[in-house]
Structure 1
Amino acid sequence: MRVLVAGRSGAVGRQLVPSLVSAGHEVTGTARTTAGVERIRNLGATGVQVDALDPEELRRTVVAARPETVIHQLIDLSAADGAANGRIRREGTRNLVDAAKAAGVGRIVVQSISWAYGPGETPADERDPLDTTTAGPRARMVAAVRALEETAAELDTAVVLRYGLLYGPGTWYAPDGALATALTGDRSAAFLGSTVANDAVSSFVHVADAAAAALLALDWPPGPVNIVDDDPAPAHTWLPALAHSLGVPAPERAAGRQGWERGALNTLSRSRGWRPVRPTWRTGFADQIEH
């Protein structure tokens, strides 16, 4: 299959491109820099330099690649800038979907998130609505996620992968990531996450498992699907465990959580054949240190 991966340079994209190539797909990957293009070529794929925020340039790139499927891995969190990432979700997705239409592409696999659901007492599944209860930065984030998912759904088949918090190489939760720096009290690293060990429940997924889900999603039916591990857990449980694995101080336990801080379930993705190699962060955190 001819596949175009938009945003190969993100944490998931770096794992996904070699998996697609190994599976026998003809892969074109996009990057914003010449260095990114070279990395794509070194993985056996065709690399193209393009800015997803340039609609005409992106249209030409997608039409020339003639993909049968587009995989959306566009993200902009290098500076922990929520506004920049929101723009990529809104404008980048709009441009990519328009380019896919121009190229006659009917299938798209899209990177979304699993913590945009509304409040609840138990982990969310795909039947739960996105959050409409908050204001401020979270409301803007959820609005951008909604725009991303609705825009993708304009194509005939849009599979929306709602990832958990990504850990592993290239993420904030890696040994060289921003969370380890933040836990030492050094705020020089850009980090949008929390370092409060409270009752807020999160769901994680290793980047390699996230990439494996994107590969399987080439054959999945449309709609949202949570890509999270088997073990949603409160911050007062997972944060000290991660700190211990990273060799940095653990924060003191605190109380409280927001209603939307509930984690998510992977029942649907498992029913479609996805089996995370790291089914729980409890072993996954330690595994990323060993490797």
Structure 2
Amino acid sequence: MRVFVAGGAGALGRRLVPQLVARGHQVTATTTSAAKLGLLERLGAEGVVMDGLDAMSVGEAVAQARPDAIVHEMTGLGSGKPNMRHPDRFFAPTNRLRIEGTDHLLAAAEATGVPHVVVQSFAQSYGPGAGLLTEEDPIDPGPVPVVRRLSAGVLHIQDVVPKAGGTVLRYGGFYGPGASDDVVDMVRKRKFPLVGEGTGWNSWIHLDDAASATVLAVEKQARGVFNIVDDEPAQVRDWLPYLAACAGAKRPMRVPRWLAKLLAGEFAVSLMTEGHGFSNARTKRELGWELRYPSWRQGFKEELI
């Protein structure tokens, strides 16, 4: 197949492109920087400079590539350091790419007759209830205003992509080189404390496993929503001390919710004390997906030692 990977030079794109190439696909991958074209070529793709926020740039790139499938992996997460106190600033570029970039790619696909579009989303939901979320459960940002603003992009994807007949991949929290470096650095410097009882749930996924699931979604022309997470959702109180141990760091400090809210804001408190885990049963069943790292325990240990 001819596969167009928007955001091919990002943390996931760098793992996805080689896997697609290894399976015999012809890949066109985009970057916003001409300096990264050489990287894309070394990964086996034809590199193209494209501005995902410019409809004309997207339309021209897609028309020239004539792909059988488009994969949207564009984010702005590599443009700065995470800032828990001002998360709106950090996530604003990614929200624009998830809203405007998604619309531009869907429009380009329709204009050029591309039959399949796969779009990156995020497995994080703060709505009421308990238990693992399946693909039938929508992303719910909950009542906290800042979290609702940060979720604007995934809410847009959740709405428009299925209506267009596309595929939404709700990835868990990425880890692996290039994806978790900032978190590990904060843990080693003891700048990532355990808030309250650490009761928030997270679902993790190694970059290589996220890429392999994406390849299967493209090859099988899967439609609808798929949770791309490992087998073991975990509460912060379990995974954070374990990550610290794997990274050779001291055990994270514990701070009460009220203090964390004053120092880091509502987003950090929600992240550490609320949220759901996600089920990967549908992805494994329908795509025949097998994980390299079924649990973050194995992945953290092998990646961080």
TM over 0.5: same fold? Answer: yes
For 1:30-109, what aligned pairs fall within 5 Å after superposition?
Answer: 30-78=30-78, 79=80, 80=82, 81-109=90-118
Structure 1 letter corresponding to 2:167? V
1:261 maps to which residue? 275
Deviating above 6 A after TM superposition, structure 1's stretches of 4 or more consecutive aligned residues are 254-257
SS at the partner of 1:70? strand
Provide the C-alpha distance between the structure 1 equivalents of 2:193 and 2:100, rounded to a whole number of angstroms. Answer: 27
Check whether the contact 1:106–1:155 (CA below 8 A) recurs between aligned residues: no
SS at the partner of 2:225? strand
Provide the C-alpha distance between the structure 2 equivalents of 1:262 and 1:57, rounded to a whole number of angstroms. Answer: 38
Q: Deviations along 1:198-237, whole A, 9 cap, x unmatched? A: 1111110000000000000011431111010000111111
Q: Offset at 1:119? A: 2.7
1:276 maps to which residue? 291
2:266 maps to which residue? none
Q: Offset at 1:154? A: 4.4
Provide the C-alpha distance between the structure 2 equivalents of 1:186 and 1:117, rounded to a whole number of angstroms. Answer: 26
| RMSD of Structure 2 on Structure 1 (CA) | 2.1
Structure 2 letter corresponding to 1:160? V
Provide the C-alpha distance between the structure 2 equivalents of 1:132 and 1:284, rounded to a whole number of angstroms. Answer: 28
Provide the C-alpha distance between the structure 2 equivalents of 1:48 and 1:246, rounded to a whole number of angstroms. Answer: 37
Provide the C-alpha distance between the structure 2 equivalents of 1:278 and 1:255, rounded to a whole number of angstroms. Answer: 33
Provide the C-alpha distance between the structure 1 equivalents of 2:137 and 2:67, rounded to a whole number of angstroms. Answer: 32
Q: Deviations along 1:61-83, whole A, 9 cap, x unmatched? A: 10010001001101111224111
1:234 maps to which residue? 235
1:247 maps to which residue? 248
SS at the partner of 1:153? helix
Structure 1 letter corresponding to 2:238? T
Structure 2 letter corresponding to 1:233? A
2:169 maps to which residue? 161
Provide the C-alpha distance between the structure 2 equivalents of 1:84 and 1:104, rounded to a whole number of angstroms. Answer: 28
Provide the C-alpha distance between the structure 1 equivalents of 2:125 and 2:63, rounded to a whole number of angstroms. Answer: 32
Check whether the contact 2:116–2:221 (CA below 8 A) recurs between aligned residues: no
Q: Offset at 1:253? A: 4.9
Q: Which of the two has greater helix per residue?
A: 2
Provide the C-alpha distance between the structure 1 equivalents of 2:142 and 2:158, rounded to a whole number of angstroms. Answer: 19
Q: Deviations along 1:4-30, whole A, 9 cap, x unmatched? A: 000012211100001111111111000
Task: Count the aligned residue pairs.
Answer: 280
Provide the C-alpha distance between the structure 2 equivalents of 1:145 and 1:94, rounded to a whole number of angstroms. Answer: 13
Please list every run of 5 or more consecutive structure 2 residues that lacks an aligned counterpart in the other structure. 83-89, 258-268
Please list every run of 5 or more consecutive structure 1 residues that lacks an aligned counterpart in the other structure. 188-192
Describe the shift of the 1:262–1:100 C-alpha distance in structure 2 as closer, same or farther (beyond 3 A). Answer: same
Q: Which residue, out of 123, 129, 143, partners 1:134?
A: 143
Q: Offset at 1:103? A: 1.5
Provide the C-alpha distance between the structure 2 equivalents of 1:194 and 1:130, rounded to a whole number of angstroms. Answer: 26
Q: Deviations along 1:59-112, whole A, 9 cap, x unmatched? A: 001001000100110111122411111111111111111111122112111111
Check whether the contact 2:132–2:277 (CA below 8 A) recurs between aligned residues: yes
Structure 1 stretch displaced more, 250-259 or 124-133: 250-259
Describe the shift of the 1:77–1:144 C-alpha distance in structure 2 as closer, same or farther (beyond 3 A). Answer: same
Provide the C-alpha distance between the structure 2 equivalents of 1:274 and 1:182, rounded to a whole number of angstroms. Answer: 32
Provide the C-alpha distance between the structure 2 equivalents of 1:282 and 1:222, rounded to a whole number of angstroms. Answer: 31
Provide the C-alpha distance between the structure 2 equivalents of 1:62 and 1:111, rounded to a whole number of angstroms. Answer: 18
Residue 147, structure 1, aligned to residue 151, structure 2: no
SS at the partner of 1:11? coil
SS at the partner of 1:112? strand
Taking structure 2 as the reference length, what is the TM-score of the superposition?
0.86
Structure 1 letter corresponding to 2:275? E
Provide the C-alpha distance between the structure 2 equivalents of 1:252 and 1:207, rounded to a whole number of angstroms. Answer: 28
Provide the C-alpha distance between the structure 2 equivalents of 1:201 and 1:130, rounded to a whole number of angstroms. Answer: 14
Check whether the contact 2:124–2:172 (CA below 8 A) recurs between aligned residues: yes
Q: Offset at 1:140? A: 1.4
Identity %: 38
Taking structure 1 as the reference length, what is the TM-score of the superposition?
0.89
